Amino acid sequence: MAAGSFEGQYVWSPAANDRALAHACMDVRTGRYLSAGEVLREAREDFEVRAHRSLVLASVAADSDLAERWLAEEPGPEAALLWARVAMLRALRMADAGDRRQGALTRIAQTACERAAKLLPQDPTPWVAQLALSRLDRPRDPAPQGLLTAPAGPWYLFAHILRLAPWHREAHHRFLSFFFTRYGGSSSASWDVAAFLSQRAPASSPLRLLPLVALVEDYNPSALLADRTWEQPQWITTAMGIYRNWFPRVTDYRFTPVLDLAYLAHALFMANREFEAREVLTAMGPYASRMPWSAFGDPEEQLTKARRSCGLPVPHEG
């Protein structure tokens, strides 16, 4: 689905051009959950859309009692899923803030995930939520063969999710993030896992972007020639391969994959491939994501810099 043209302002909405999701988010903000139930129910057979919609809705609902109220008033798979996602987000936020209530919230979230998984066993989303929580208790399952660093981690849980949905996007990103340095992992492990996961994915899969995600995560602005990293042949080859094999398939998506497009556009821009970066930025339309731009400064300023360099209109100009 086309994102639409840029009309002078960025739209910082994770719902992007999923109009049904955007409407449901507005309802959730006003304390209503019926449309949230509708968009989640409609996506029961599309695990990628169900995962994305439940996460976006949970980010809106996390600061209210809507999820608890919905589960109490009309219990069912959709209410249970939103509650699992909300509980997951709350536990992760508390952990990142160093709040001592994190342990109790983690147990609540794990119970909520288990409940949602039982109500709709074929849905991987509750298990993906549990995978997100794994960075808090740091499971140490042995890694399969094929990884140089053999990093221990939540491999068993990840394998269970892959049996339900072999190429689940969020599951792969959550799993990779377990190995980030800021969550107790290491650069070598995250590089190893990103390469391992991307190489086993089809050439046309968005999972080929995982090494670019690890590259941004490992960015150190104080390192010598840090911004020239993307100009190295291996990263140009990676970005151009994604541009040739995955980017043409974006038009077949139900909704614009803004975050994945942003990582690709950023990598191409940093590699001085401005023609290709311009195409990717154009495909994003007005929609913007804070990552990966926020790793390099103010996200709006960084995105505007890239768009201007590629000859595209930017806010308040033209």
Element (H, E) at 43: none
How high is the pLDDT of residue 41? 98
Rounded to the nearest 10 degrees, how much is the dihedral formed by the CA atoms of 7, 10, 12, 14?
50
How high is the pLDDT of residue 2? 63
Q: Distance between CA atoms of 262 and 256, rounded to whole angstroms?
A: 11
How high is the pLDDT of residue 318? 45
As a whole number of angstroms, the longest Cα–Cα distance in the chain is 57
How high is the pLDDT of residue 88? 98
How high is the pLDDT of residue 51? 98
Beta-bridged to residue 11, according to DSSP, are: 287
Q: What is the pLDDT of residues 34-84, one digit of tens each?
A: 999 999 999 999 999 999 999 999 999 999 999 999 999 999 999 999 999
Q: Give, in degrees to the nearest 5, the angle at Cα 107 between 167 and 29.
A: 70
pTM of this prediction?
0.96
How high is the pLDDT of residue 3? 74
Please state the separation of Cα 122 from the chain's center in Å: 21
Cβ atoms of 231 and 239 within 8 Å: the answer is no
Q: Which two tokens stand for residue 184?
A: 């107790």
Q: Distance between CA atoms of 268 and 289, rounded to whole angstroms?
A: 16
How high is the pLDDT of residue 316? 77
Read off the DSSP letter of residue 143. Answer: P
How high is the pLDDT of residue 244? 98
Token pair 């046309």: residue: 204
Q: Which of 166, 173, 248 is nearest to 210 (CA)?
A: 173
Residues of the chain below pLDDT 70: 1-2, 317-318
User: Both ends of the chain: CA-CA distance in Å?
Assistant: 26
> DSSP states of 79-139 as a string?
HHHHHHHHHHHHHHHHHHHT-TTHHHHHHHHHHHHHHHHHHSTT--HHHHHHHHHHHHH--
Read off the DSSP letter of residue 317. Answer: -
